[in-house]
Amino acid sequence: MDEGVQVTPVEPGLRYEVFHTDCLARDVVDHVTSRWGVWVLISLRTNALRFYELRESIHGISEKMLSQTLRVLVQDGLVWREVEPTTPPQVTYGLTDFGREIGEPLRELFDRITTRLPQEYKPVS
């Protein structure tokens, strides 16, 4: 393990020191709030999806970026991954309990934004 990486809470049972650059909690926050992390968590909020279903649900994401994003979210314990031994293998992703817990505020934020936007919203280019 790298020296300086914070692997235990600052005060036992309380919280991590998220302002420390090597804090594991900070890494998870970075992954969740990344450009594609938010969309993966929102897309998986209602049910598990296969890789290509997930890619189709998130317009603009490449296979490479989806793979990278899923990899870190699985490592963080937010998303589970199941591989069916078929040819070709079918891979399904879904939210863990932790992922649902983290995804709930994101869903609420998403819902608040989409209900408050004017009907004829035109994004700024």
Q: For residue 12, is pLDDT > 50?
A: yes
Residue 113 confidence class, pLDDT cut points 50, 70, 90 = confident
Residue 121, domain member (yes or no): no
Select from 29, 34, 32, 33 the least CA-distant residue to 79: 32
Instruction: Provide the domain limits for residue 67.
Output: 33-112
Residue 26, domain member (yes or no): no
Residue 122, domain member (yes or no): no
| pLDDT: which is higher, 28 or 90 | 90
What is the Cα–Cα distance from 8 to 15, expressed in whole angstroms?
Answer: 9
Residue 96 sits in a domain whose CATH number is 1.10.10.10
Report the percentage of the chain scoring pLDDT > 70: 82
How far is CA 89 from its chain centroid?
23
Domain count, the chain: 1
pTM assigned to the model? 0.75
Q: For residue 125, is pLDDT > 90?
A: no
Residue pLDDT, tens place only, 41-91: 999 999 999 999 999 999 999 999 999 999 999 999 999 999 999 998 899
Residue 19, domain member (yes or no): no
Residue 57, domain member (yes or no): yes
Residue 72, domain member (yes or no): yes
The answer to whether the beta carbons of residues 48 and 110 sit under 8 Å apart is: no
- Please provide the average confidence, as pLDDT, over all residues in the chain: 84
